[in-house]
Amino acid sequence: MSAAPRQLVLDLAPRPALDMEDFLVSAANREALELVDRWPDWPHWAAIVVGPEGAGKTHLAHVWQMRSRAVATTGAALGEATLAAFGASNTMLVEDIDRSIADERIFFHLLNLARERKGSVLVTSRVAPGDLAIALPDLRSRLKALPVATIAPPDDLLLKSVLVKLFADRQLEVEPHVVSYVALRIERSLAAANAVVTEIDRRALERHRNVTRALAAEVLQDTAVNRAGAPGEDFED
């Protein structure tokens, strides 16, 4: 008898929930959340949110963009059109300046324009301004002078909450003990949480299985998201 055909898995990313009520709060990200909540009563014309990949910077930036009606761009896309775009809204979101700043002169002029017009610019980065490789001295000095709100690696409470949200985004019902099992064993990062949930979802769909601790243990063993010093894996449910 031939083996049953494997389930065809379509790699369709779930649509993440990016409203403010979907943002999960803990001590790790409260400073950045308070920065967004204070707008437009900022003491400065620009601010930077700094945090590791997958920490929630994009989520908060999206919330701020919707509130402020800001034009969104990235450091890699900064160019002559940026200044005209800012002029139309007086607010701008510039993401991922640690990855690339296409035109440092334009970025410097954008920050000056925001100050002159009493506008607002929100910037995101994975590293602090002082650690960025910036050639233009004036821009380097200007960025180092901006207020910085830091998102720290998630604590256990936030990590569990994020896992629950990621499973819910994929319409997966997962028992609390499975969530706790995964949170205890993955590295303390939201990128790791996203990676392990993505793979658990893929295997559960492929095999027509519910998400169990045994399936989670299998995924943890096969992926590089394990936390150093975490308990050994257990395949029993």
Give the phi and the psi of residue 95 in degrees, each rounded to 5: -100, 155
| DSSP secondary structure letters along 151-217 | PPPP-HHHHHHHHHHHHHHTT----HHHHHHHHHHB-SSHHHHHHHHHHHHHHHHHHT----HHHHH
The CATH class of 156-222 is: mainly alpha
- Contact between 120 and 91 under an 8 Å Cβ cutoff? The reply is yes
Task: Give the per-residue pLDDT at 228.
Answer: 60
Taking the alpha carbons at both ends of the chain, their separation in whole angstroms is 30
Mean pLDDT of 133-139: 96
pLDDT digits (tens, 9 = 90+) for 57-77: 888 899 999 999 999 999 999
Domain ranges of the chain: 20-150, 156-222
- Contact between 178 and 210 under an 8 Å Cβ cutoff? The reply is no
**Tokens, residue 174:** 């997962």
Query: How far apart (Å, rounded) are the C-alpha atoms in residues 85 and 236?
Result: 57
What are the distances in angstroms from CA 75 to CA 102, 145, 164, 202?
6, 18, 32, 33
Task: Give the per-residue pLDDT at 9.
Answer: 33
What superfamily would CATH give domain 20-150? P-loop containing nucleotide triphosphate hydrolases (3.40.50.300)
Select, from the ranges 111-125, 181-195, 221-235, the one with the highest average predicted confidence (pLDDT): 111-125
